[in-house]
């Protein structure tokens, strides 16, 4: 383990300041703050890779200590569960040479396990129905959103249509929030690791992560999709709800594989950067395109789109 010299001490303070700025922006601006919120772990991950895990631990500890008096205990816990664990887990797994995909999967699995353990302990210690509290929070958010739109001038049939749509969305979120937690953590881990690959030139010891365009899920994962799909037909609500969450997470993995295939084709045919940017913008705006990308990832199991084809002899 590397010892702390004056240089790392200074960068530890710098990393803590950047972390706090990003996280406070995230909690202070509910919509605009979502973007900086995705990169809260980045300073800690970067300096942990550069100077050792002790620096990353110090950044997390300082951030928690500062957040508790200025933002409250709940914000400090939110930071620790959503960003702090990821800040430390990713550098540890990367330092073992596990590669990008395995490091992300391990870090997300560890983070989800800690979140689940905290939720169970909190619910038992407080004697509350945690699922009920989550649903109550979702409904409260929907009510607040509807009130804001009503104040903005939305009335009559338009307001009622909006409320109905929000209620339907809330009901869906109430069923799939476990999958949304996993997807959020995986997105945070993936984006931060993607930025780290851009900063790797400043980190001589940063391990090679491999090409994203070659990413492929295990072939056996398709059986999870099939089993989850059939399990949703079971009349029991709990079983169907669990199957839906499993299906969403596995489809996300195939969506990532679809993106890797598209990236491979972009590189192979030297697609201009502007065309790539337009595609990714459309991908964020059009849900059906995202479904098509996930389907591409699934059919890669049979199509094997990235394997060079041998020309047939005439």
Question: What CATH architecture is 1-127+180-209?
Answer: Orthogonal Bundle (1.10)
Q: How many CA atoms lie within 13 A of 155 on its CB side?
A: 2
pLDDT tens digits, one per residue of 234-249: 887 788 889 999 999 9
pLDDT band at 135 (very low <50, low <70, confident <90, very high): confident
Res 111 pLDDT > 90: yes
pLDDT at 255 over 80: yes
| Rounded Cα gap, residues 90 and 16, in angstroms | 17
CB 88 within 8 A of CB 57: yes
Find the mean pLDDT for residues 87-102.
89
203: tokens are 């980190």
What are the Cα distances from residue 140, in Å, to 116, 137, 166, 175, 179? 23, 5, 11, 16, 21
Q: Which among 125, 127, 91 has a CA at the least distance from the CA of 209?
A: 91
Q: What is the mean pLDDT of the chain?
A: 87
Burial of 4 (0-12, 13-18, 19+ CB in 10 A): middle
Q: According to the model, what pLDDT value does residue 207 have?
A: 60
Residue extents of the structural domains in the chain = 1-127+180-209, 211-307
Instruction: Tell which wins on pLDDT, 263 or 143.
Output: 263
């Amino acid at each position: 383990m590397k010892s702390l010299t004056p240089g790392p001490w200074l960068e530890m303070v710098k990393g803590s300041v950047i972390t706090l700025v990003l996280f406070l922006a995230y909690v202070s601006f509910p919509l605009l703050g979502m973007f900086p919120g995705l990169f809260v772990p980045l300073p800690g991950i970067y300096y942990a890779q550069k100077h050792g895990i002790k620096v990353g631990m110090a950044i997390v500890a300082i951030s928690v200590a500062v957040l508790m008096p200025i933002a409250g205990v709940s914000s400090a816990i939110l930071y620790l569960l959503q960003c702090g664990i990821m800040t430390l887990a990713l550098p540890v797994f990367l330092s073992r040479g596990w590669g990008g995909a395995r490091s992300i999967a391990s870090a997300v699995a560890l983070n989800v396990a800690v979140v689940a353990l905290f939720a169970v302990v909190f619910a038992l210690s407080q004697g509350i129905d945690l699922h009920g509290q989550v649903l109550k929070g979702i409904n409260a958010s929907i009510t607040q959103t509807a009130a804001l739109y009503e104040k903005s001038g939305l009335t009559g049939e338009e307001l009622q249509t909006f409320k109905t749509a929000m209620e339907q969305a809330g009901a869906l979120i109430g069923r799939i929030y476990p999958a949304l937690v996993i997807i959020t953590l995986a997105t945070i881990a993936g984006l931060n690791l993607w930025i780290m690959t851009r900063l790797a030139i400043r980190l001589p010891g940063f391990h090679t992560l491999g090409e994203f365009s070659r990413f492929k899920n295990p072939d056996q994962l398709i059986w999870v999709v099939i089993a989850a799909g059939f399990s949703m037909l079971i009349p029991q609500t709990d079983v169907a709800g669990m199957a839906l969450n499993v299906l969403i997470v596995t489809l996300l993995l195939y969506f990532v594989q679809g993106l890797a295939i598209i990236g491979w084709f972009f590189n192979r045919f030297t697609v201009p950067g502007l065309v790539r940017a337009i595609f990714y913008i459309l991908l964020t705006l059009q849900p059906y395109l995202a479904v098509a990308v996930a389907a591409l990832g699934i059919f890669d199991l049979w199509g094997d789109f990235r394997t060079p084809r041998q020309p047939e002899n005439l």
